[in-house]
Structure 1
């Protein structure tokens, strides 16, 4: 006599061509039959509890529940169950990966390792104002207001906003800009605007040589946001500063482990001061 597993295997073979998919589904269902208490919501929830106690990742548990959903559809077709309990059970949510960020001492090491005037001004500005790569690359000299310590940038959608810059960033910008009054702010060796590709290579190279980490321009943006939130900035103000349309995008920074950073920070940001 065929067992439920035998019949389910035939059911899978009639619908899926990949042997690996069939094997995975069968393995998950066999585990369920071994650990569960029944073909109902309580049985599935009991199985789910066991999986969490095992310390399995959310993605692994989600995959096992997908296998069970197929199994219960099979049972429903056979008349064994009336409904699929997976239709009403809350699935574990896949956590959004937390953004990478550098700690304060790593930011200092990165900046101090940059001797080129243009590159120092560029990285200082990205970190100072938590800029996206596109925002810093599209800047023109006339967008920089050194007297009032601010820059004018274009956000997504073309909206123009002013953002503050630190005295440190302003000092390095002044040294780099010199007597230029217009045109692209950051230039390549041919006098043209820097490209996104070159910016990413530049930051990666400096980070690998100073803090031994492979980072992108966005890492600097995440780092500044993390540092500001940790030093007491209201999350609504941070949302406007970063240009997030939704507070949910900003709230990810509240989930970072900032205990060590908090101990390293004073009430005012150490890199906001012009310490030379």
Structure 2
């Protein structure tokens, strides 16, 4: 096994013990691989870390991305017994741009596929992350009580969230036309029949 793969595997075990989620671990391991490739060694020093960080700044990456790389570098150096200090960039205080009501209506009206409309409405009306929408299962949806259960959301927390009538109506329409699928040898439960 190449040295970089060994270092990446060791780092993966190191950060897994910190309790990060799989998606975060994969992201951090990929960042480490890019860092080690840049340095062309599995034993970089502070000068290598600073050069790599400067290259990220030169590429105009976002502050949060640079800070994530800095976190990875600091933890990798700590793991190999050569701790380093890198400054974290202060996050900006600009308010994000928000779509107004007309923007949202225009987006929803432009969607002609019921499945995509359903996915976007659930994400929008319940304020979900893409990963939370992707992890939803039929058993998480309660059409009678107009709720969805989020499992392992931000900070690995579960939650019950409410959906409005517009979203529930779209969900019902989609579930009526959704093709039957067998996933891992099982058919998802016929939730619409149970809850109409």
Q: What range describes the TM-score normalised by the shorter chain of this pair? A: 0.3 to 0.5
Structure 2 length-normalised TM: 0.43
Q: TM-score, normalised by structure 1?
A: 0.31
Larger Rg: 1
Relative contact order higher in (CA < 8 Å, ≥ 6 apart): 1
